[in-house]
Every structure is written in C-alpha cells, then in structure tokens.
Structure 1
Amino acid sequence: MQITEIDTLGAMREVLNSPEDQQLALFRERVMEPLRPTWENLLRYLTGGTGDYPALAAARTMKLYLPEMGREQGLAALDTLERERVQQDNLAALQRAVAVLKPAEHGISLPEVRLAVTLASPDGLGEEGYTGAGNTPGWVTLSVWPNSHKLSKLPAVTAHEFNHNVRFQQPDWTFPMSLGAYLVAEGLAESFAAALHGPESLGPWTGTLGLDTLRELQPRFQAALHEQDFGVVRGYIFGDGVMSAFSGGQAVSDLGIPDYAGYALGYRVVQDYLAHTGRTPAQATYDPWRVIAAESGWFTVEGQAVKPSKSQTV
C-alpha cells in the first residue's frame, strides 16, 4: 500500500505569503483542489447554495482556516505545527496503523492512502481544536488549530480514521448504514486508537457518559439499532447539541440524546466484546457488527445476547 502525503500545510503557507489579492484564488487551487475527493460529496448537504465557489463553501463548512482570517496568526499556527512535527508524527501513526491492520491480507483493496493535515479556523472546532475524517476511501484527513497540549492526541485520530477506511470496506457496511453498524464502527475506531496510542490519547467523547447513563440509554439504542435514516442515525451518534451546532444552531435533532452518546456507547460495546472474546481491536475490525453488538452483551441482535451485566465497568 502506498502512503502519499498531501502537503496542505505547505500550500497554506504559500497562500498566506502571497499578495492579498491573489490569496483566495490560490487557496482554492493549492489547498482545496487537492482535497476535492474529501469534500465534493459534502456539497450535497450544504444549505443556501454554494455560489460561484463551491470549494470555499466546503471550506467554511469544514471550519478550515481561510486567508481572510489573517496572515500573521495563520503563519504562527503553521510554525507551531511544523515545530511540533505534526505531519511527521501522523505519517508515522498512519504507517503503524497500516502495519497492524494488514488490510491486504483481509482482501481490502486500498492501493493508496493519502494523508492530509489541514489548518482549522481558530474557533471552529471547539475546545479540543482538532478533528479527523476517514469516510472517503483512501483518505485520512486531520484538521487542527494548534493547541500544544492536544497535538499529542492527533496520532490517535489518524489511527481512528484509518480504521474507518478499512472498516467501511466490510460487507456489512452498506449505504444507507444502520445505527448498529455506525455505532460499532465508531467503537472499533476508538478501541483501535486506544490500543496503539493508549486510552489517554482519546478525545473526551468516549468518556463523557458514565456506565449508569449508558445503561439508561441502551433500550433506546436497542430499539433503533436497525434504523437507516441517516439524519436519525447521526442524531444517535452525535447527540442533539452537536447536531445543532453543526447546522448553525438549527434544531435538526430532538431525540433527547446526550452529546457524543454514540461514541461513548460504541466504545463500551466494543471494549466489552473484546473482553468477552479475547479478540484484539485489529482482529475485531473484520468482524460483522451484529456479532460484535450481540456478543458484547449489550444488545439482542437477531435473537442473540442479553442486556449488559451490572458487573461491567467503564
């Protein structure tokens, strides 16, 4: 498998060092165009039209740093990312993830994986200041506004997103995907990242809810496990607050689901599956979601398994 770095940070430096009247056109050409496979489908979900420059509409939706946000602070942020060796560390993390998952040995055809680190807007990604995406086959993208004590967590994000790349090639991952498939995919990605980089490297979303809260939510997830309406599925995974924030404050989900509940429950489900079966996260990446959900002890799937035991711990 070939790993290709897309030097988006270097391109952004070129943009910010160029004359101001050339920056926007150069941003579209040098930063956004190489990333087109990762954002082109996003345009279908944008509201209010994309105008003459769909790439800019996508960049704003993705909370990327734009030239209009200022030359000095943008260059200072790029200097921090370079000094902290963010690109090198995440390239190494991707190489390690590939070596551990061995997708080719499992019939997964990913001849090339592209890694792109992008500069996020200063206030676009909340307190954590970083996010990742692995939903485009052959792409792992990270977006970060440098917050020095969080940069060390980025390799875990890279591992998480590459796990998605592999998992999304599985036979039981079809569109429209079910809530159960999505729930298990997030739990697998976080479990894989934790196995490679330590549980302390994970973001807060997997630990926001305690075991008692997850038990209270379990019947609602059980009832919706085969739901395939993407809007509803995302509401269960991300929660009402996150979905509202993503849509600019519009209440797109009123399920009464806490923020990142799907991540927290998915991680618990996979962790218990691994404990019950002795499988590793890398091995479980190739297991059907129904098997993982049922044998975790959290869900009844097609007549299998029972509700979680009270002896389980977070």
Structure 2
Amino acid sequence: MTITVLDTYSAMKKILQAPVTNRVDLLRSMLEPVKDMYRYFPGEVDLVAMHQQASGFPLDRDEERCLAALETLATAGAWERMQRALDDALAVQLAATPGLEVPDITVLFLLGDPADDHFIGPSLGMTGNGGMSGYIVITLWPFPENVERLEATAVHELNHNLRYSPGGVVWNPMTVTVGEHVISEGLADAFARQIYGDELGCTRIGVPHLHDEAVFAKVVSGLDVTGMENFTAWVHGDPSAERFGVAPVGLPMGAGYAAGNRLVDAYLAATGQSAAQALHADSSKIIATALGSGS
C-alpha cells in the first residue's frame, strides 16, 4: 500500500506558462492518473470539464495570480507536508485497526479558481473529494488559514477514502442517507482533530455553526433523507445547493459538518473509542447513540 502525492506543482506551472492553445492537452495529461476515480460514472468522463466544474484553476486568465499562488504553496512545502501527514495518519489508523485493507492511493492537489465567487467565498477556498477508493483530490486557494490546515485537510480526505474502501462501509447510491454523509464528515474531522487538535482539525465551513442549536436540530431532522441529489443542501448548505441547482432547505454553509462533529463526538464520548477506532462504525448506530446521550 502506497500513498502518492503527485507532483502537480511542476505540471501546473508548465500549464500556466504554456501558450493558451496548449493548456487543455497539458491539463488532461496531468489529470490522467486519477481518471479511474470516475469509473462508476455513466459514459466517458471529460477530465477537463470535471476540473472546470469543480472550481479548478482557469486555463485562459489569471495566470499571474495562479503562478504566484503556486509559489506560495511551494514555499510552504505543501506537497511534502501532505505526503508526510498522510503517511503518518495511515500509521495512526493502522495502529487502531490492525488488518485494515488499504488501497494504493493517488493524491491530486490542485489550485482553485480565484475568480470563482462560490469557491473563494462560501467554500473558503477549499474543496476535497476522498470518497472514491484509491483517489484523493484537493482543490485549494492558499489563504493563510488553508495553508495552515494542509495536513488536516489531507487527513480528513484520507479518512473518507479508508471508510469507503473495500472491506469498509459500502456507499450504496440507492439507499445511502444524509445521515451517512453527515457522519462521514464528522468522523473525518474527528480523525483530523485526533491528530492535529480541534483548531486545525475542524473543516472551516462547519466551525461557525458548531454550537448553533437550531442548525443542529434542522440537520438532525433530515438525517433519514435519501437521494444523493439532496445531500448538497443538507450537508454543505444553501449556498452550495443554489450553486449546483439543488433546492435549498434553509441551512447555512457547512451545517452538516457542524452537526456531524457533534454527533460523532457524542458517540465517541459514549463508547470511549477514538476516531480512528470508529473508522467503520455504522452511521445509524452513531446517530442513535449520540442522540440517546443527549447531544
């Protein structure tokens, strides 16, 4: 089992310095190592289109801003820090769950789009996708708070990857609930907090709502909702729902993350487990235990 953080620094620098007409092909080549993460999508996936839809750095503008941001990340040792963090976190996880089946994992770290208002605004310059076994994609703009949290961000996505890898929890699109998604975010944050502490380990979008009782109650009311098209509204909140054309449900950005942290913390306190030990815990049991304990 090997975790490989790809050298996207060199690749992105080459893309941003190339003639505009050459950039699409160069980007497609850089994205090729993660094409299999879309293996369950119907039909062939256009990697460049996916990059653009996911707030990836632009190919026809803002070159100087992006090159400067790239150097900020390089100076901060971003790629090396993420590699060390993932290797160290895997060791923590294996100590807690001996015999865990771990896939080889490829990590794609990308600059985001500085002109994407939703990415830079409500998303605070960071998105991640770690739910597809064997692949992690992190898209980031180097605000100081995001650079400080590079390790915790990577470890959060690793937790998702290991929860949904073979032998772990099965994400069945036909039956999966908002509750599973909410709990997965809470577990991933709890794992990052176990290693890096509460201040760095909490996903930033959820922090403002951690103690908001109305937000918590609203999220809890939707935990049994099924249909993955609904998850954005319940987990990420109305700003993301509106961005992606989903009906809002009256929740602020990051509401599901805040609720997930509270539910998982209540479960861990009740059971005496660490976040690492709870990697494959059933979300319905976590929810029942947490709510039964008066969270």
- Give the secondary structure class of the aligned counterpart of 1:283: coil
Q: Hey, what's the Cα distance between the residues in 1 that align with 2:142 and 2:68?
A: 10
Distance 1:40 1:68, change over 3 A: farther
**1:285, distance to aligned residue in structure 2 (A):** 1.1
Deviation at 1:178, TM superposition (A): 1.5
Match of 1:226 in 2: 224
Correspondent of 1:168 among 150, 164, 167: 164
The answer to whether the 8 A contact 1:43-1:58 is kept is no
Alignment gaps of 5+ in structure 1? 45-49, 299-304
Identity %: 28
2:54 aligned to which of 56, 62, 86:
62
Aligned to 1:36: 35
Deviation at 1:218, TM superposition (A): 5.7
Q: CA deviation at 1:257?
A: 2.9
Change (3 A) 1:204 1:78: closer
* Structure 1 contact 239–253 (Cα < 8 Å) conserved: no
Q: Is the 8 A contact 2:219 2:234 kept in 1?
A: no
The alignment's TM-score, normalised by the length of structure 2, stands at: 0.87
In the alignment, what sits opposite 1:216? 217
Structure with bigger gyration radius: 1
Preserved contact between residue 3 and residue 113 of structure 1 (Cα < 8 Å): yes
For residues 170 and 283 of structure 2, the distance between their equivalents in structure 1, rounded to whole angstroms, comes to 7
Paired residue for 1:301? none
Q: Paired residue for 1:100?
A: 92
- Pick closer, same or farther for the CA change 1:74–1:43 going to 2, 3 Å: farther
Q: How big is each residue's C-alpha offset from its partner over 1:175-233, in whole Å with a ceiling of 9 and x where there is no partner? A: 33122221211110011111111111123323222242245326623xxx333211223
Query: CA shift at 1:104, angstroms?
Result: 10
What corresponds to 2:185 in structure 1? 186
Q: 2-side partners of 1:42 and 1:13: how far apart? A: 30
The CA distance in 2 between the partners of 1:171 and 1:181, in whole Å, is 10
Aligned-pair CA distance for 1:90: 0.8
Q: How far apart are 1:105 and its partner, in Å?
A: 4.9
Give the distance between the partners of 1:194 and 1:104, measured in 2 at CA: 15
Return 5+ residue gaps in structure 2 as ranges: none
TM-score using structure 1 length: 0.82
Moved more, 115-124 or 101-110: 101-110
Q: What SS does the corresponding residue of 1:280 show, helix, strand or coil?
A: coil
CA positional deviation for 1:75: 1.9
- The aligned residue for residue 72 of structure 2 is 80
Aligned pair count reads: 286
TM-aligned CA deviation for residue 243 of structure 1: 1.2
Q: Which AA in structure 2 matches 1:236?
A: W
Which amino acid is 2:179 matched to?
A: G
Report the equivalent of 1:261.
255
